[in-house]
Amino acid sequence: MTTHLDETGRTYAAEQPARLDWAKHAPEVYKAMVRLDIAARQGLDHTLYELVKIRASQINHCAFCIDMHTKDALAAGERVERIVQLSAWEESRHFYTDKEIAALELTEAVTVLTDGFVPDAVYENAARHFEEAELAQLLAAITTINAWNRFGVTCRMAPGHYQPGQYK
């Protein structure tokens, strides 16, 4: 890989090439993931949905998905400071509603299964803020973004090229 210059003359590291265009080689899986993603977002507040997708992607270090969902959230009117503070939401709780905090707690618990389970307190807090049908959709959204993240990270999908709404 070589470096490149931007318009100001700054030198940046070169973009890493993707390892695999998995969607091209597994088109039926890709189409099924898109359908799952569409189904998972049904009935969820769009802002909440994007916050969950950004947070899971931060945890999973999926730069492609962070880029995509940050751009989509901004295009939908999300405030920059809420996105910037998302990686430290526990110290920045005052930027989020109680319902969003419950969703972020659940996102982290489902995404990082280091203890092998989602703690009862986290699940019970989410259940207090979400009706059962909405909670099921939230779990589907969290699970779906985690699957997308695994494709993105493993295949080394490059951030920076996505345009808001490109895949809708």
Segment 83-114, tens digit of pLDDT: 999 999 999 999 999 999 999 999 999 999 88
Average pLDDT over residues 19-40: 96
Indicate the helix (H) or strand (E) that contains 36. Answer: helix 27-41
Contact in structure between 86 and 58 (CB atoms under 8 Å): yes
Mind listing the pLDDT tens digit for each residue in 37-49? 999 999 999 999 9
Mind listing the pLDDT tens digit for each residue in 106-142? 999 999 988 779 999 999 999 999 999 999 999 999 9
- CA 146-55-65 angle, 5° bins: 60
pTM for the structure as a whole: 0.92
**Which of 113, 107, 72 lies closest to 90, judged by CA?**
107
Indicate the helix (H) or strand (E) that contains 35. Answer: helix 27-41
